[in-house]
Amino acid sequence: MTIRIRAVVVLCLAVFPGAAFGQAKGDSPSKLLLGSWVVARVLSGGPVAALTSGEASRLIGRKITYRESEFIVDGATFPISEYQRRIVTQEEFLIENKFPATKINIGSAHIVEVSAQSTHEYLADKFGASIWFIGKDTLVAPYMGVPFELKRSNK
């Protein structure tokens, strides 16, 4: 088994027409992530997980905040120096994540991966560091092999 660890925050956005998210001209995909999000539920994901169902359930209600220059989780603030994008296919997503994107409601042929990089912190192991954008108000955050659904917070 090969395990890849990257010292970047990976923020993945499903490719949808900008209007589907209320995206105005000039908005970057990363701007759609900005704001506060709350873990709503545990989703079914890949074949291997490093969390028990009880440990996963205890993460429900956790708040994650994304800002242009920082990522906040568990009360800790981590600086983000830049966002980078790459487009992956459904096949690449399956290879990299060990389950199909359609399992978590990403049905488009391509997924835009937005990586927020930090020159100061190692972020790859932080909860909420990897995000797949399902819709304007819904994200999926994989953590220790378990995908979690996040909903935009109005607070």
Question: No. of H helices and E strands in the chain?
Answer: 2, 10
Q: By the 8 A CB rule, do 42 and 56 touch?
A: yes
Q: Which residue has the tokens 């993460």?
A: 59
More confident position, 36 or 141: 36
Cβ atoms of 131 and 33 within 8 Å: the answer is yes
Mean pLDDT of 124-139: 78
CA atoms within 13 A on the CB side of 43: 25
The tokens describing 74, both together, are 């568990």
User: What's the average model confidence in pLDDT over 125-137?
Assistant: 78
Rounded to an integer, what distance in angstroms lies between the CA atom of residue 94 and that of residue 137?
24
Collapse the DSSP code of 12 into the 3-class scheme (helix H, G, I; strand E, B; otherwise coil) and give the result.
strand
CA 19 to chain centre: 20
On average, the pLDDT of the chain sits at 74
β-strands 8-14, 110-117: how paired? antiparallel
pLDDT of the residue at 133: 76
15's enclosing H/E stretch is: none
Using CA atoms, how far residue 13 sits from 63, 88, 91, 105, 111, in Å, is 19, 10, 16, 12, 6
Selected residue with higher pLDDT from 19 and 96:
96
Rounded Cα–Cα distance for residues 154 and 146 (Å):
25
List pLDDT tens digits, range 100-130: 888 887 888 877 666 667 777 776 777 877 7
71-101: per-residue pLDDT in tens?
898 888 988 877 667 788 889 988 988 888 8
Q: What is the pTM of this model?
A: 0.74
- Segments in the chain forming alpha helices (H): 53-57, 90-97
